[in-house]
């Protein structure tokens, strides 16, 4: 069993709960996590860049099952340009392509509970639904478990709730706290994974998970205050106030704003589990609300730490030291074009925009050189073996040039098409700039982002004109 996201809250509990049933191979980008778990005899730890399709494919070889628990709300490079929705889309596509290539039989993905009307979803839930679609776009069988707030030692959403109540005796409750939420215990989530993996009649379905009684988030806050035996007073507001509330939630919960913001916006929906065969199988073993709460806090009522918290500081130091860049930009899907045609058009468009100050030069081997002021080689891009015959994906190694440091592994530049999501992703991974960081962040990085946004607008205009595709 390969587990992507194995060192987090759900992944840690899953490996403990299912260790009698499966041998685990845990995928993580963190060398610190691998080192910390070196003596874990029950799990084979594999350091793996999930943004690299070849590395994910190699990591999955020899596995029969896969569990996908990944989200990209935490920074993976010193500079990240892009939204978590776009990076989640790219990571999910990598994982399912790799699973298909490695011959996995069955994947299980932990998604989020969805409201009845999915036409106006929060960015977080919209991303979860899109990942479900992408994972099911290949030949591998995929089961989807949808959960809301998960109670358990180390859960981020649970910690956010408890810390708010502990630290704010007077709480301003915006309108979103009137929405219904449906929580469940982590032990029941683990049992749901076991059933989805071992019961043939359940394989390949989509199942909502809910264990405690549904309640409004404001009611959840009141129940938490009662169990903590702490004085608590509420002031209700008629508006959602997302911009303001996400900052004070992040401040008082101790969680990063990048994590709090999407989780909080999802709470504007009423999220309740619909009856289904898997949930019916769990019915007799559902852990009650109070029992879930008691085991998830310590004697002082503080939420127990997340398993990843032990290595997060060292991971951040490593990321800062490496001075790498990731840029992931969603663009319109070019009508009638394949990924290689898009890559060719990008170079030619860039040459036109910069008035020949920058020119793209192509070799018959597929190498692209961006030349500045005549013959200065700014960047050289070498096509990766995985993309030579792939019409949906065109990727290059950033192999040399004045603007790039020589590093191992090399940075990558890629265009990938997503017809099922009617979009394209243009991305840079692991780019190491030559310029001093403070200069790069204020000059080259800003220019790159503006160029990619301008290229997206150009593609949109081309689509509206139904232009002929460029020559490859």
Both 259 and 328 in one domain: the answer is no
Both 313 and 334 in one domain: the answer is no
Both 248 and 308 in one domain: the answer is yes
CATH number of 223's domain:
3.40.50.720
What pLDDT, on the 0 to 100 scale, is given for residue 469? Answer: 57
Domain end position, chosen among 291, 317, 343? 317
The string of pLDDT tens digits covering residues 245-255 is 777 777 777 77
Question: Rounded to 5 degrees, what angle do the CA atoms 370, 375, 380 make?
Answer: 30
Both 167 and 199 in one domain: the answer is yes
Q: How far is CA 349 from CA 132, 352, 388, in A?
A: 34, 5, 22
- 265 belongs to a structural domain: yes
CATH number of 367's domain:
3.30.530.20
The reply to whether the predicted model has a pTM over 0.75 is: yes
CA 390 – CA 97 distance, rounded (Å): 12
Q: Which range is least confidently modeled, 163-167, 245-249, 348-352, 452-456?
A: 245-249
Question: Among 161, 153, 1, which residue's Cα sits nearest to residue 67?
Answer: 1
Both 106 and 238 in one domain: the answer is yes
CA 390 – CA 339 distance, rounded (Å): 8
Which span out of 39-43, 139-143, 312-316, 386-390 was modeled with the highest average pLDDT? 139-143
What pLDDT, on the 0 to 100 scale, is given for residue 306? Answer: 85
- 337 belongs to a structural domain: yes
Both 123 and 168 in one domain: the answer is yes
Domain end position, chosen among 317, 350, 366? 317
CA 252 – CA 338 distance, rounded (Å): 48
Both 158 and 279 in one domain: the answer is yes
Q: Phi and psi (nearest 5°) for 322?
A: -70, -25
- 470 belongs to a structural domain: no
- 354 belongs to a structural domain: yes
- 302 belongs to a structural domain: yes
Both 384 and 255 in one domain: the answer is no
The string of pLDDT tens digits covering residues 271-295 is 999 999 999 999 999 999 999 999 9
Domain residue limits at 344 = 323-465
CA 389 – CA 340 distance, rounded (Å): 9
- 328 belongs to a structural domain: yes
32 touches 307 (CB < 8 A):
no
Domain end position, chosen among 250, 284, 317? 317
Both 306 and 340 in one domain: the answer is no
- 158 belongs to a structural domain: yes
Both 421 and 274 in one domain: the answer is no
Structural domain total, the chain: 2
Both 212 and 349 in one domain: the answer is no
The string of pLDDT tens digits covering residues 421-463 is 889 999 999 999 999 999 999 999 999 999 999 999 999 988 8
- 471 belongs to a structural domain: no
Q: Which range is least confidently modeled, 5-14, 239-248, 439-448?
A: 239-248
The DSSP-derived string for 174-219 is -GGGGSEE--EEHHHHHHHHHHHHH-TTTTT-EEEE--SPPEEHHH
Percentage of residues in the chain with pLDDT exceeding 70? Answer: 98
CA 201 – CA 185 distance, rounded (Å): 24
Both 287 and 339 in one domain: the answer is no
């Amino acid at each position: 069993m390969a587990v992507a996201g194995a060192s987090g809250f759900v992944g840690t509990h899953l490996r403990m709960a299912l260790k009698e049933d499966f041998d685990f191979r845990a995928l993580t980008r963190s060398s610190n996590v691998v080192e910390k778990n070196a003596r874990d005899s029950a799990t084979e730890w594999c350091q793996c860049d999930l943004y690299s399709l070849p590395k994910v494919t190699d990591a999955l070889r020899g596995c029969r099952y896969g569990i996908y628990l990944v989200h990209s709300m935490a920074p993976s490079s010193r500079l990240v340009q892009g939204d978590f929705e776009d990076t989640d889309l790219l990571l999910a596509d990598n994982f399912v392509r790799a699973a298909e290539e490695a011959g996995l039989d069955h994947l299980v993905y932990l998604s989020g509970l969805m409201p009845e009307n999915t036409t106006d979803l929060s960015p977080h839930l919209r991303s979860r639904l899109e990942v479900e679609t992408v994972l099911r776009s290949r030949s591998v069988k995929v089961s989807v478990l949808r959960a809301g707030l998960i109670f358990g030692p180390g859960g981020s959403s649970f910690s956010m709730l408890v810390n708010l109540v502990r630290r704010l005796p007077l709480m301003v409750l915006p309108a979103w706290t009137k929405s219904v939420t449906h929580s469940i215990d982590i032990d029941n989530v683990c049992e749901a994974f076991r059933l989805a993996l071992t019961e043939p009649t359940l394989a390949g379905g989509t199942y909502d998970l809910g264990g405690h009684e549904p309640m409004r988030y404001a009611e959840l806050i009141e129940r938490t205050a009662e169990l903590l035996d702490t004085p608590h007073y509420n002031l209700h507001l008629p508006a959602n106030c997302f911009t303001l509330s996400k900052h004070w939630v992040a401040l008082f919960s101790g969680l990063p704003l990048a994590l709090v913001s999407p989780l909080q916006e999802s709470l504007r929906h009423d999220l309740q589990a619909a009856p289904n065969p898997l949930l019916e199988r769990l019915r007799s073993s559902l852990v009650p609300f109070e029992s879930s709460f008691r085991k998830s806090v310590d004697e002082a009522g503080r939420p127990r730490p997340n398993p990843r918290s032990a290595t997060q500081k060292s991971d951040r130091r490593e990321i800062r030291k490496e001075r790498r860049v990731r840029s992931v930009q969603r663009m319109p899907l070019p009508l009638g074009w394949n990924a290689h045609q898009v890559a060719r058009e990008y170079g030619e468009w860039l040459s036109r925009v910069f008035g020949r100050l920058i020119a793209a030069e192509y070799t018959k081997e597929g190498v692209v050189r961006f030349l500045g002021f005549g013959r200065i080689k700014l960047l050289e891009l070498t096509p990766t073996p995985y993309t030579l015959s792939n019409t949906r994906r065109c990727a290059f190694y950033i192999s040399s040039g004045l603007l790039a440091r020589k590093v191992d592994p090399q940075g990558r530049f890629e265009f990938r098409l997503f017809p099922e999501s009617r979009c394209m992703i243009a991305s840079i991974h692991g780019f190491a700039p030559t310029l001093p960081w403070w200069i790069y962040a204020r000059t080259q990085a800003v220019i790159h982002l503006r160029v990619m946004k301008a290229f997206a607008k150009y593609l949109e205009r081309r689509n509206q004109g139904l232009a002929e595709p460029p020559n490859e």
